[in-house]
Amino acid sequence: GREYLLARVLFFTSRNLPLEMCLPAFPCKSSNPEKVTGTMPDRGEELALRRLHQVLRQIKEVYPPGAFICIISDGHVFSDCIGVDDDTVDEYGARLIALNNAIIQQNRDLVPAVRFQSLKDIFFLDPTDALARELALPEVDHFIATRLCEDSEFCRQVLQLSCQPDSNAVRDQIVAQDAAMLALYRGFSRFMLEDLALHPLAQPLSRKQKKKLAEKVSFEMMLRNQAYSNLVELVFPDHIRLSIHAHVNTGPKFGITLFDRAVTRVVDSLDLTADSLRSPETHDLLHIPTPWHNCVAQLADATTTTTFIASSKVVQDAVLSGNLHGHWVEGDVSKGLGRYFEI
């Protein structure tokens, strides 16, 4: 992995160019109200963006040309699979960009080194033009009812047509017990069973029916995940590819964490009377903690800088138990501030 990464870095440094990295991330907030408290960026996204800017600033200190990170939102790739409307994804993306711009304006030593692209930006196609009408576009499977926008659906169709692997081949790998593919499928299935648990479509279903729905959605997400990975490789061939998923870091992708572990702590309990706050057990490393699957709680005590990353249910349970008192502090995106729970 070191040699692979070094070769990528040398491509830029040998030409005295800024390092260029890409990160598929920041899709939209989860539709599960036990994970998040809203649909728009909050303190979690704020902390993640500030962390990225911090890393870029550190790179510039040792390598003057600096570096750039292109955040490639995969919101429209998966939004219909997780029960989020297309227009909600668009608004989330717009507010995320506004939040990032405000962070830059607050800090004069920052340069606009965090950039954004979406599926629409990459394809830059109009579904009504002559070329688009000539394409033999496939139908996209939708298992969760959401509001679909024509341009977003068009991009999903083009993605499926151009980059998606054959579904039968992927299914055959799962049936054949291919270790990597089976682990990915099971990881997605567990995650989607949890993520869709409170969705109106899933609530009246039996446990068996919910599991079947999660498996269908998970298989579709696997196909789209591979399609998007292929697209990123095609469009950003020389970029250093970062990922919010855990990897063995042998390349071509390198896993990163969006939260600074020096000042944040991921927990599954906010029982401040316990000897220590519990950190969650993870069944797999497919989904590491992200701002769009959690909320942020901060201690009001000015003597500590500890920030807790937890699901909204953890906060709700702590308040209902009487072990914790606090309130939501509203953010102001225009000032680079996100919403959080103050303890």
Residues 165-179: tens digit of each pLDDT: 999 999 999 999 888
Mean pLDDT throughout 5-13? Answer: 94
114-118, 245-249, 254-258, 323-327 — which one is most confidently predicted on average?
114-118
- Do 251 and 1 meet the contact criterion of CB atoms below 8 Å apart? yes
**Band of pLDDT at residue 64, cut at 50, 70 and 90:** very high
What per-residue confidence (pLDDT) applies to 322? 82
Pick 224 or 128 by higher pLDDT.
224
Q: CA-CA distances (angstroms) from residue 179 to 75, 137, 176?
A: 28, 32, 9
The SS3 call for residue 24 is: strand
Q: What percent of the chain has pLDDT over 70?
A: 90
What per-residue confidence (pLDDT) applies to 286? 54
Residues 256-301: tens digit of each pLDDT: 999 998 889 898 888 765 544 555 544 445 557 899 999 999 887 7
Q: What percent of the chain has pLDDT over 90?
A: 65
Q: Is the pLDDT of residue 68 over 90?
A: yes
Q: Say which range, 36-40, 249-253, 261-265, 338-342, has the weakest mean pLDDT.
A: 249-253
**Band of pLDDT at residue 218, cut at 50, 70 and 90:** very high
Q: CA-CA distances (angstroms) from residue 182 to 22, 115, 186, 203, 287?
A: 27, 34, 6, 27, 16
pTM of the model: 0.91
Q: Say which range, 87-91, 244-248, 294-298, has the weakest mean pLDDT.
A: 244-248
Q: Which residues pair with 243 in a beta bridge?
A: 255
Question: Under 8 Å CB-to-CB from 71, ≥6 apart: which residues?
Answer: 22, 23, 25, 26, 114, 115, 116, 117
What per-residue confidence (pLDDT) applies to 311? 93
Tracing tokens 């999903």 back to the chain, one arrives at 156
61-75, 194-208, 324-338 — which one is most confidently predicted on average?
61-75
Return the biggest CA–CA distance within the chain: 66
Q: CA-CA distances (angstroms) from residue 89 to 41, 92, 105, 148, 287?
A: 11, 5, 24, 11, 20
- Do 27 and 75 meet the contact criterion of CB atoms below 8 Å apart? yes
Residues 150-169: tens digit of each pLDDT: 999 999 999 999 999 999 99
Separation CA 308–CA 340 (nearest Å)? 10
Separation CA 325–CA 172 (nearest Å)? 52
**Band of pLDDT at residue 136, cut at 50, 70 and 90:** confident
Separation CA 295–CA 32 (nearest Å)? 12
DSSP state of 332: B
Q: Is the pLDDT of residue 55 over 60?
A: yes
- Do 260 and 47 meet the contact criterion of CB atoms below 8 Å apart? yes
What per-residue confidence (pLDDT) applies to 300? 77
What per-residue confidence (pLDDT) applies to 23? 96
